[in-house]
Amino acid sequence: MAIEKILLGGGCFWCIEAVYREVKGVISSISGYAGGDNPNPTYQQICTGTTNHAEVVEVTFDNEIVNLDTILDVFWTIHDPTTLNAQGADRGTQYRSVVYYYEELQKERTIVSAKEIQKSLRDPIVTELATAPTFYSAEDYHQNYYNLNSSAGYCQMVISPKVAKFRAKFL
């Protein structure tokens, strides 16, 4: 088993986490915060948009089952990497599109992946690509949110379509 981690942000972390929980070979997907100035930020602080943190998901995967290229392909598919600081109705720097990588090979694969996906997009990708900063796990009530609250309005209107899009393309 060859374990890797990568941090991905593409709007609300509930959406990203819900999708990656369904990817074969993903060991865990944990909602959290990264890229900001405050150590140990809280959701209330993040929501102000003044901490510079992004909502991200720490995706831990076995690259003998699912490779980084597939992890990134899923990422580009389930959100819009061309919208700055927004996904749908979620607006603010905390919702920006980010890929935070841990090693040089991940950086190289991420750059290649972004260039490939750009060919199919009309607008330029605005996704932040950078070395992984400190990751802070979000509060417990954010973890596995979709599976625990699937009948909630936000889950039905926002998360379910992203999960369906993933399933249609990858399952």
- The closest alpha carbon to 7, from 140, 154, 128, belongs to 128
Q: Compute the distance between CA of residue 167 and CA of residue 154 in angstroms, rounded to an integer.
A: 19
Choosing from 12, 15, 47, 155, which is the catalytic residue?
A: 12
DSSP conformation class of 127: -
Cβ neighbours of residue 75 closer than 8 Å, sequence gap 6 or more: 8, 10, 16, 99
* Residue 54 β-bridge partners: 34
For residue 12, indicate whether it is catalytic.
yes
* SS3 annotation, 71-95: HHHHHHHHCCCCCCCEECCEECHHH
- The closest alpha carbon to 29, from 14, 40, 44, 41, belongs to 14
Pair 25, 61: CB distance under 8 Å? yes
Cα end-to-end span (Å), the chain: 23
Active-site positions read 12
